[in-house]
Amino acid sequence: MGVINVEKGKPVTLTKVIVLICTSLAIIFISVYLNVPHSYIRDGGDPNTNISSSASAVPKATFSSEPQPLKAVIVSAGDCVLHEVFQKSAKIENEDRYDFNSIFEAIKPYTEPAHYSLISFESAATNKRGDYSGYPLFNCPPEIFDAFKNVGLDLVNNSNNHQLDRKLKGMLETRDNIRSRGLEVLGVYDGEEPRYMIKELNGIKVGLMAYTYSCNMNEDALTAKQREHHLALIDEKRMEQEITEMEGKADATVIAMHWGTEYTQKPTDYQEKLARKMIDWGADVILGSHPHVVQPSELIDLNGDTKYIIYSMGNFVSNQRRGASGYPKTHKELCEDSMLINIEFVKDAGTSKTVINKVTHIPTWLWRYSKDGVYRFQVIPVPLPDYYKNGEYPKEVLAEAYESYKRTMSLVSDYQRPSP
């Protein structure tokens, strides 16, 4: 075979030259191919396409060194107890309609941005006009649920001692009225299993369940099968089974408890013991209601994980207050105090472990004032002392709201998980 001298007289065979040329062409071809967008190749290519400009438009792949954690926020409000004065306040003159929106409008900046918001509702809300009443057998217009919906609430907890105030029929009608507004309901059942619900919130599965100590003995009018079928009364054996099961399916669990002694700021021994049992069974958060006053919060360490308990969130909306008759006889100002609780869960994207990252208490005070000869009401959130500076409310109103803030914050503690 012939020989070509290419450098300093060193011989190179023709075969080697051919191989060298083919290799170079292959490298050029591959380089061009890899810089052409895949869509260009896939779609057959446009002969008029400027390949170099198309290639420059292809984004470069970026890689995060660590997967980002997932976060979900729930917000809970205390007891909504609508005495008869609220119905008069919400009635639209000369019309068969009620509007409760102004009571709740100031909480919207706190409830609407949350992934999920809930409230405890102590009443029936049936459709029969003229059958509305306050204490001791509560029943209010179902338009109350429109107001809940309008401020971004998602779930109505109806598991409490007043849920049978219009008997079983009224309780089921109330449930239907809640659902018809696009809200979910907890505490009223039709024998379905499981009774708890699991909501996926921004990639975090949160289990929710609610129990009550009693229905003011109205449950005694039901058969044993009806009680089991429709209610969630405190029954430790069944609670253990449900909470344990729910904990196995959810990333985090929230239990709403209607319990305790009315008008006392200290939880009972039974509340404390039962709370610890529920933590052991798998509860991460326990939200208490019923005493009509705020009771303390508590943080529990369980094997290095923080669990949160609020024994009572107080009266979010109620006419139990100074200047009103009825109970309590003393210290009525305590019944004006409540809160919104903002709880942030964080899920590690690598390990899938979910923990409480942050708990923030936003104290609230219920303002009652007279307008056009009728009492009006508005929940005032007070996230910080001296928060309002632009004349949003009269000075004397803010003075009361700030005193309420102090009372509430003396009983609860915010929480921020330490950095790993």
**Mean pLDDT of the 9-15 span:** 46
Tell whether 152 is covered by a domain.
yes
299 and 343 within one domain: yes
pLDDT at 260: 98
| Residue 20 confidence (pLDDT) above 70 | no
Give the list of residues 6+ apart from residue 314 with CB closer than 8 angstroms, or none.
Answer: 78, 79, 291, 292, 293, 294, 295, 334, 335, 337, 338, 339, 408
28 and 85 within one domain: no
46 and 88 within one domain: no
* Range with the poorest average pLDDT among 26-40, 186-200, 272-286: 26-40
Q: How many domains does the chain have?
A: 2
pLDDT at 4: 38
pLDDT at 31: 44
281 and 400 within one domain: yes
Residue 194: pLDDT band (50, 70, 90) is very high
pLDDT at 46: 39
Domain holding 188, by residue range, is 70-416
Tell whether 62 is covered by a domain.
no
Give 419's DSSP letter: P
pLDDT at 23: 54
pLDDT at 412: 98
15 and 162 within one domain: no
Tell whether 61 is covered by a domain.
no
| Residue 32 confidence (pLDDT) above 50 | no
50 and 97 within one domain: no
**Mean pLDDT of the 89-97 span:** 95
Residue 63: pLDDT band (50, 70, 90) is low
* Range with the poorest average pLDDT among 11-25, 138-152, 350-364: 11-25
Looking at the DSSP bridge assignments, the partners of residue 120 are 79, 157
Better-scored residue on pLDDT, 56 or 180? 180
**pLDDT tens, position by position, 136-180:** 999 999 999 999 999 999 999 999 999 999 999 999 999 999 999
242 and 329 within one domain: yes
**pLDDT tens, position by position, 198-237:** 999 999 999 999 999 999 999 999 999 999 999 999 999 9
Residue 197: pLDDT band (50, 70, 90) is very high
Tell whether 63 is covered by a domain.
no
241 and 111 within one domain: yes
**Mean pLDDT of the 63-69 span:** 74
**pLDDT tens, position by position, 254-270:** 999 999 999 999 999 99
- Burial class of residue 290 in the structure, from the number of CB atoms within 10 Å of its CB (0-12 exposed, 13-18 middle, 19+ buried): buried
Predicted TM-score of the model (pTM): 0.84
pLDDT at 236: 98
331 and 268 within one domain: yes
For 47-78, the DSSP string reads TT--HHHHHHTSPPP---SSPPPEEEEEEEEE
| Residue 16 confidence (pLDDT) above 70 | no
CA distance linking residue 129 with residue 121, whole number of Å: 20
Tokens of 333: 């100002």
Write the CATH number for 379: 3.60.21.10
| Residue 403 confidence (pLDDT) above 90 | yes
pLDDT at 36: 39
**What are 187-192's contacts with CB under 8 Å, separation 24+?**
187/157, 187/158, 187/159, 187/160, 187/163, 187/212, 187/231, 187/232, 187/256, 188/158, 188/159, 188/163, 188/230, 188/231, 189/229, 189/230, 189/231, 189/232, 190/229, 190/230, 191/228, 191/229, 191/230
Residue 330: pLDDT band (50, 70, 90) is confident
**Mean pLDDT of the 48-58 span:** 38
- Burial class of residue 239 in the structure, from the number of CB atoms within 10 Å of its CB (0-12 exposed, 13-18 middle, 19+ buried): buried
pLDDT at 325: 82
